Structures are given as C-alpha cells and as structure tokens.
Amino acid sequence: MSASVLELESQVLNLGPADRARLLERLIDSFEPESKVHDAWVAEARRRHEEVKSGQVTAVPGNEALVRIRARIS
C-alpha cells in the first residue's frame, strides 16, 4: 500500500460516523453504480426500513442479533 493511501486511510478513520458512512456508500457505488444487484439491495434496504418504521418489526442491537444467530446454529 502506498504512503498516500495510508495517509488517506488515517484521515478517513478520523471522520465522524456519518461522514465515514457516506464515503463508504460512495466507494461501493463506484464499483457498480447501476447494477441490478445494487438496485435490489437498495430496494431491500428501503423495504426493511419501512418495516421498522411502521412497527411491523423491531430492530435488535447488533450484539444481541449475533447472540441469537449463534444460539440457532450451535
């Protein structure tokens, strides 16, 4: 990895969570900006967001979700 990439990485990691998330989205989009897979993931994310927003499902903290998943597969 070049020095400039390492410097950029350091700068990015010092950004706040919202800015890092925005940058991540832009980087992911740069690989396949108009793919069917991308469109499907966006539709799925919107569907899930609406389910949480409407109260159809309840969000679970990430750590709790991992505990539940590990319990199911063990």
Residue 1 has pLDDT above 90, yes or no: no
Q: Any idea what DSSP says for residue 56?
A: S
CA distance 65 to 17: 21
The 3-class secondary structure across 14-54, one letter per residue, is CCCHHHHHHHHHHHHHHHCCCCHHHHHHHHHHHHHHHHHHH
* Phi-psi domain of 2 (left: phi exceeds 0; alpha: psi -120 through 50; beta: other): beta
pLDDT in tens, 2-52: 889 999 999 999 999 899 999 988 888 787 767 788 788 889 999 999 999
What is the pLDDT, as a whole number, of residue 38? Answer: 78
